[in-house]
Structure 1
Amino acid sequence: MVRGADLEKRGAQAQDEPHRPSAVAAKRDDALARTIAVLVSLVVVGSIAALVGSWRGDAGNPAFDGTVGEVTMLSIDGTYRIDDGEWRPVDGSSFEAALVGVQSVTVRGRLSRAVPEGERVNLRLSSTSCVVRVNGTEAFSFDGRSGTGPASEPMLGWVGFASPGITEGDQVEVELCSASRWSSLGDYELTFRTLNAGDADSLRRAMTQLFFPMLACGAAVLCAGVVLLLVASLGHLIGVPKERGGMLFAVYVLLGGVWIFFCFDYVTLFIPHPQFTATVSLLAQDAMPLALVGYVIQRSAGTLRRFARAVLAAMAAVEATAIALRVAGACSLFDANILIVTLFVTAEVAVVGAFAFRAVRSSNREMREAAVVVLPCTVGSLFEALSFLVWGVSTGFALTAGIAVSAAFRFVALYAYARKQVELAERARRAEQELVQSRVAIALSQIQPHFLYNALATIQYLCTEDPPLAARTVDDFARYLRGNMDSLTNDRPIPFARELEHLRHYVAIEQLRFPHIDVEFDVEEEQFLLPALTVQPLVENAVRHGLRNRAQDGTVTVSTRSGEGCFLVCVSDNGMGFERALDVPDIADAPQDFAARLDPVRSHIGLSNVAFRVRSLCGGSVSLRSRPGEGCRVTVTIPR
């Protein structure tokens, strides 16, 4: 009987495992994936076109025409009017009105100090037009657009004008009107709260000091994105198992860094192209949810994956439409984002929320780590959207903090993933060593039976025909067996001299059966170590397959010499060779049955085993060269 707890456990495991889709579902998923790819391609191409168009059609930034001096804050003491309402006394820079939907704010009165002729007056505009009058005469006007045409983006930055000479007694009137389809009271209050006088350089320094934490955070996030992108790319290039979604989250963090730099209006003081900076900020803001949902798709499976894919396809379609309207000159991205922000944040919260819910119920540690990574930036996006839709103002601070926290969590998760990969690699290495050691034992068991039978038969014959030779052969045979038995328990390299002694015992026995085969030794170096039973199987292969069927003059040559940074052991014969020409740089990298496939008639002993042992125990290699009718040459390379 299956207990209830077991049923619950099996149900949880079933939720963790990906559902295997049917053929119809697989075709549907493939079609959806292709649709997403096409839409994302359109978004990328359209974004490039929008950026190029915004740069060319930029009206420039008048904040860079000024004189040298210090920045001084200004305020207006007088009255204000909301839309066409009644005039009210000014109380600082706050106005009594609805948070959203205000079309104009006009303030008139006297400045807090005189502004001499030629000194620059700076205004920080946020999607509003501006008209400044001094004693009823227009001193400055700006239509609120950073470019020309109906699709140009509203001004999000600094403008200014040279004072005509304003005294403390002059009547100054500043009229702000909404330049977009979305207007908020905070946009107007921001202008009067930051009104100042001073040259562009002084203003730039002041804003840099004020927003230095945001600049530093943007730089840190941008660097984090670059590092994550390099890790994801290099890991794939060098063959390290690629973590799912790593590239997409790196793109998300990169976009976040770009957005942090361009979303704050101080950027127009450094890049005098407000149309371009606004377009970059809006495109990055829209692309971030696309990358984040794509990351969730890569880390999920089953129904959740299909749901996220459908959401991503819809988001990409909306963004492609908005960009197409922007390129066609029908609608600005700023106006389109009034709808896009609502849709994208809702979609992002739905996908990430479902992913987090699934992760909480899952026993998959990697899925939980991924949920922890995406939650902070999603919460930041939600706060920014609510602030924009309810209060009409989005500071960007919540999303900036969310991106930074998510990036930090991502590095922690990446470190844990790297440690896990190292542990898996170490396990694989140990398993390979155990496999190599087992192959040694198997190789010995393969070599011993046929050789034991033949050797004993030879000794039996010699006992009657040549007893003294039989005695010497028994001694060689005993020493040979001792060497084999020692090799079973010895997993460390041995001196070449010991391997050579073991080989000589084997050769002495084999030459009794094949007197026409000669084994020559050309040993120049023997002060090095190599795995046990490295040379003897190579000589045995040469005797059995290369020379045994040769009528006469069969020769096997065993030579050693010193190479550059290594020792070389060569075993060559003048036998028949393989049926086809063969050059194998390292047998350990070749299929284990490569020799049998090339020459199926013969059963080659130990080539792959020798190569694996040489690589595993001393980091060396075994190469093979063969020509039909010319014999074979096997070279063992042992690093110093």
Structure 2
Amino acid sequence: MYKEPCSNKNAILLRFTLIFLTAAVLIAAVILFSVLFRFDQKMKTEGKLYPVEVLGEYSEEGGPWKTLTHQTDFENKDLRDITVRGHFSRDIPEGDKLFLNIDHMRVTLRINGEEIYSTGPVRSGGNPTQAVGKQWVTIVSPGITVSDKVELNFGNLYWNAYMIQFDELLRQMHTGDERMMLFKAVSNDGWTMTIGTIFLFLTLFLLIVALECTILRIDGARRFLWLGLITLFSSIWFYTLSPAPTLILPFPVFLNVMYSCSMQGIAVFVVLFAAEHLTGWRKKSLLYCTGLLLLVTLAAMVNQIFMIQDLYSAINYFSILELLVALWVIYCLGYETRRLHNRESAQLLKAILPLAVCAVVELINGYVQFLEAAILLGLGLISFSLIEEIYTIRRIKRSMNSEKRALILENELNQNRISVMLSQVQPHFLFNALQGIKQLCDTEPKQASEALEHFSFYLRGNLDSLIDKQLISFEREMFHVNNYLYLEKMRFPKKLNIEIEILYQDFLLPPLTVQTIVENAVRHGIIKKKAGGTVRIKSEQTDENIIVTIRDDGLGFDPDIPKEDGRTHVGIENVRNRLMLQCGGSLEIESEVGVGTTVKIILPQKEELKGI
């Protein structure tokens, strides 16, 4: 339904809220980094952490033994069985902790032939529900010396694995203080943790702005909501890229599921965000795409619950589906940009293209592995968010300016409302209608009673327009139009013909819009023509708009020549202004002298314009 524009006071409140939120984010960031700095200094004085290496040899897939060095590079991501044997580079006394960085692998650690740690498939028999995710594992040492025999057996559990996982296991082993290990783990993945935190603050900002827009009844609240949810899931995704959280929350399976779900959440809300910028069948198609993504995610989660296939192993299948959906989103945005000259879709297209390109290259990187995982997709999310944030700030500014213009237009409309009503109810029309009813009283009393009823309905409709500022149903508007046409047909039974074709009527529009155009067509087009003519009214729905056409074959006029009949002609301009202000509609007039006039009322397809 129509929303009244917010006042200047509310606009000032919104501006103050945005300034307050920006200041709060900056202050919180300063406090956060100050706390981290103090924690860093404290850890340097209180905690100790030492690197640990395995010195010895290794064998791939049961092959020959080779010397293990710092330059050893396991280049085959399909390796399923690697054994490293030798001894640790330092003693690990009993009770001390050994930290291993395990990334979606099966790992078994033996000391002097005795197994002290093992992780692998959740279920045996080669079931694809295999790994517990990305994690830092803490092992309490039974007392290990440099002379003890160490055997480390590991291998990939997924075909979409990254080779760097082996290096992370062998090169990032540590022993020492657990808090210092947490700090080092966070430092190792500092860029992902920092960006995740920035996205988290950004989420808070966007969700509060969405709430403000809802309270102040400003259009675009859902866009802020979807954008806020995109940044929320992006924040979760960046956090789960790092194994550091498992040192605080020892739930690697949960974090692994959150990693997969966050990728799907980003895709779902990007599509919903794009749908807010589209109309017609393009918007509907994106809503169907959203349903498809949710359905696929639900099926994958059910597979995870029943241990059929875990979410991580389905990431590449998700990526292919999301790529196809992204291409469709780009096509829809390009269609509206090129065909309908939709400015907002053009802006979103500029933001979403870098994200789509980065996602495609990231998908290729999963097979070729020329970069570390997630870097490209992360850059795409950052660029998308930054570009959209710029556009968001611009939208807020435009919204505030439009509210000011709306208040001015509203005041003008209120001032013209009485003039419009008077222009609709001309004294000579009232006199002629009453004269016609009086004559019927003597000859056709039943018809006179019916005419009087239509006359009262007509007057009531015009008087209601003085009070009713909301949109009304098309059916109600046509009821008023039919009452008017009945009275004119009573006066000019042979001169006035009426044709009405209602193909679509489930929508709302400002009162006295069709009525004003029809009265102009009858009074200035048909009645003044010696032979009379026909007024045709047609309503229809297209992919983008709802169109109401009023056509007459009356006298017509030259639109380029201003009328000089002494009247103000506020009716048509008032209709045009109300259509633009209340529902974003427009008015098109075509006329030719001696041929007639065609007027089109064009309303955009919007949820708030649908009838109830």
TM-score, normalised with respect to structure 2: 0.56
Judging changes above 3 Å, is the alpha-carbon distance between structure 1 residues 438 and 391 closer, same or farther for their aligned structure 2 residues?
closer
CA distance in 2 between partners of 1:281 and 1:590 (Å) = 55
CA distance in 2 between partners of 1:84 and 1:162 (Å) = 29
How far has the Cα of 1:284 moved from its partner? Answer: 1.3
1:177 aligned partner, one-letter code: G
Paired residue for 2:53?
A: 75
1:103 maps to which of 59, 77, 80 = 80
Paired residue for 1:347?
A: 324
Counterpart contact for 1:116–1:164, Cα < 8 Å: yes
Residues 1:319 and 2:294 are matched in the alignment: no
1:136 aligned partner, one-letter code: G
Paired residue for 2:167?
A: 189
Q: Which 10-residue stretch deviates more, 418-427 or 432-441? A: 432-441
Judging changes above 3 Å, is the alpha-carbon distance between structure 1 residues 433 and 83 closer, same or farther for their aligned structure 2 residues?
same
CA distance in 2 between partners of 1:222 and 1:147 (Å) = 39
How far has the Cα of 1:196 moved from its partner? Answer: 1.5
Residues 1:138 and 2:115 are matched in the alignment: yes
CA distance in 1 between partners of 2:253 and 2:266 (Å) = 20
2:152 maps to which of 161, 169, 174 = 174
CA distance in 2 between partners of 1:357 and 1:194 (Å) = 47
Listed one character per residue, the Cα deviations across residues 586-612 of structure 1 (whole Å, up to 9, x for unaligned) are x9994489xxxxxxxxxxxxxxxxxxx
2:255 maps to which of 273, 277, 297 = 277
Paired residue for 2:181?
A: 203
SS of the equivalent of 1:72 reads strand
CA distance in 1 between partners of 2:284 and 2:141 (Å) = 61
CA distance in 1 between partners of 2:419 and 2:281 (Å) = 50
CA distance in 1 between partners of 2:319 and 2:466 (Å) = 55
CA distance in 1 between partners of 2:214 and 2:270 (Å) = 20
Residues 1:409 and 2:387 are matched in the alignment: yes
CA distance in 1 between partners of 2:83 and 2:193 (Å) = 33
Counterpart contact for 1:183–1:392, Cα < 8 Å: no
Q: Which 10-residue stretch deviates more, 426-435 or 145-154? A: 145-154
Task: Output aligned runs, 1:522-533, within 5 Å.
Answer: none
Judging changes above 3 Å, is the alpha-carbon distance between structure 1 residues 442 and 238 closer, same or farther for their aligned structure 2 residues?
closer
Judging changes above 3 Å, is the alpha-carbon distance between structure 1 residues 146 and 394 closer, same or farther for their aligned structure 2 residues?
farther
Residues 1:292 and 2:270 are matched in the alignment: yes
CA distance in 1 between partners of 2:72 and 2:320 (Å) = 27
CA distance in 2 between partners of 1:135 and 1:259 (Å) = 40
CA distance in 2 between partners of 1:232 and 1:369 (Å) = 20
Residues 1:162 and 2:140 are matched in the alignment: yes
Task: Output aligned runs, 1:74-473, within 5 Å.
Answer: 74-92=52-70, 94-98=72-76, 100-143=77-120, 145=122, 151=129, 153-180=131-158, 182-242=160-220, 245-302=223-280, 304-344=282-322, 346-355=323-332, 357-358=334-335, 361=338, 363-391=341-369, 395-435=373-413
Judging changes above 3 Å, is the alpha-carbon distance between structure 1 residues 591 and 101 closer, same or farther for their aligned structure 2 residues?
same
How far has the Cα of 1:261 moved from its partner? Answer: 1.7
CA distance in 1 between partners of 2:312 and 2:222 (Å) = 34
Counterpart contact for 2:108–2:115, Cα < 8 Å: yes
2:258 aligned partner, one-letter code: V
Counterpart contact for 2:106–2:154, Cα < 8 Å: yes
CA distance in 1 between partners of 2:349 and 2:220 (Å) = 19
Listed one character per residue, the Cα deviations across residues 240-285 of structure 1 (whole Å, up to 9, x for unaligned) are 1236644322221111112222232111012111122112222112
CA distance in 1 between partners of 2:79 and 2:335 (Å) = 43
How far has the Cα of 1:125 moved from its partner? Answer: 0.5
Judging changes above 3 Å, is the alpha-carbon distance between structure 1 residues 444 and 246 closer, same or farther for their aligned structure 2 residues?
closer
CA distance in 1 between partners of 2:278 and 2:469 (Å) = 38
2:365 aligned partner, one-letter code: S
CA distance in 2 between partners of 1:195 and 1:132 (Å) = 12
Counterpart contact for 1:251–1:291, Cα < 8 Å: yes
Judging changes above 3 Å, is the alpha-carbon distance between structure 1 residues 203 and 398 closer, same or farther for their aligned structure 2 residues?
same
Number of aligned residue pairs? 385
CA distance in 2 between partners of 1:589 and 1:195 (Å) = 79
Paired residue for 1:579?
A: none
SS of the equivalent of 1:166 reads coil
5+ long unaligned stretches in structure 1: 1-67, 450-586, 594-640
Judging changes above 3 Å, is the alpha-carbon distance between structure 1 residues 329 and 392 closer, same or farther for their aligned structure 2 residues?
farther
Listed one character per residue, the Cα deviations across residues 545-595 of structure 1 (whole Å, up to 9, x for unaligned) are xxxxxxxxxxxxxxxxxxxxxxxxxxxxxxxxxxxxxxxxxx9994489xx
1:118 aligned partner, one-letter code: G
SS of the equivalent of 1:349 reads helix
Q: Which 10-residue stretch deviates more, 390-399 or 202-211? A: 390-399
Listed one character per residue, the Cα deviations across residues 443-473 of structure 1 (whole Å, up to 9, x for unaligned) are 999xxx9xxxxxxxxxxxxxxxxxxxxxxxx
Counterpart contact for 2:59–2:84, Cα < 8 Å: yes
Judging changes above 3 Å, is the alpha-carbon distance between structure 1 residues 244 and 592 closer, same or farther for their aligned structure 2 residues?
closer
How far has the Cα of 1:305 moved from its partner? Answer: 3.7
Counterpart contact for 1:349–1:382, Cα < 8 Å: no
CA distance in 2 between partners of 1:439 and 1:132 (Å) = 85
SS of the equivalent of 1:299 reads coil
Counterpart contact for 1:245–1:298, Cα < 8 Å: yes
How far has the Cα of 1:438 moved from its partner? Answer: 5.5
RMSD of Structure 2 on Structure 1 (CA) = 3.6
How far has the Cα of 1:124 moved from its partner? Answer: 0.6
Counterpart contact for 2:421–2:466, Cα < 8 Å: no
CA distance in 1 between partners of 2:267 and 2:372 (Å) = 17
Listed one character per residue, the Cα deviations across residues 463-513 of structure 1 (whole Å, up to 9, x for unaligned) are xxxxxxxxxxxxxxxxxxxxxxxxxxxxxxxxxxxxxxxxxxxxxxxxxxx
Counterpart contact for 1:114–1:167, Cα < 8 Å: yes
How far has the Cα of 1:303 moved from its partner? Answer: 5.2
5+ long unaligned stretches in structure 2: 1-45, 428-463, 471-612
How far has the Cα of 1:170 moved from its partner? Answer: 3.5
Identity of aligned residues (%): 20
SS of the equivalent of 2:309 reads coil
Listed one character per residue, the Cα deviations across residues 327-353 of structure 1 (whole Å, up to 9, x for unaligned) are 223222122324223322x22431343
CA distance in 2 between partners of 1:444 and 1:399 (Å) = 63
Counterpart contact for 1:80–1:105, Cα < 8 Å: yes
CA distance in 1 between partners of 2:392 and 2:65 (Å) = 60
CA distance in 2 between partners of 1:286 and 1:297 (Å) = 17
Q: Which 10-residue stretch deviates more, 430-439 or 85-94? A: 430-439
SS of the equivalent of 2:276 reads helix
Counterpart contact for 2:206–2:225, Cα < 8 Å: yes
1:187 aligned partner, one-letter code: Q
Listed one character per residue, the Cα deviations across residues 214-253 of structure 1 (whole Å, up to 9, x for unaligned) are 2222121122122222322331333212366443222211
Judging changes above 3 Å, is the alpha-carbon distance between structure 1 residues 199 and 247 closer, same or farther for their aligned structure 2 residues?
same
Listed one character per residue, the Cα deviations across residues 267-316 of structure 1 (whole Å, up to 9, x for unaligned) are 10121111221122221122211211222223223554454344334333
Judging changes above 3 Å, is the alpha-carbon distance between structure 1 residues 323 and 118 closer, same or farther for their aligned structure 2 residues?
same
Counterpart contact for 2:96–2:176, Cα < 8 Å: yes
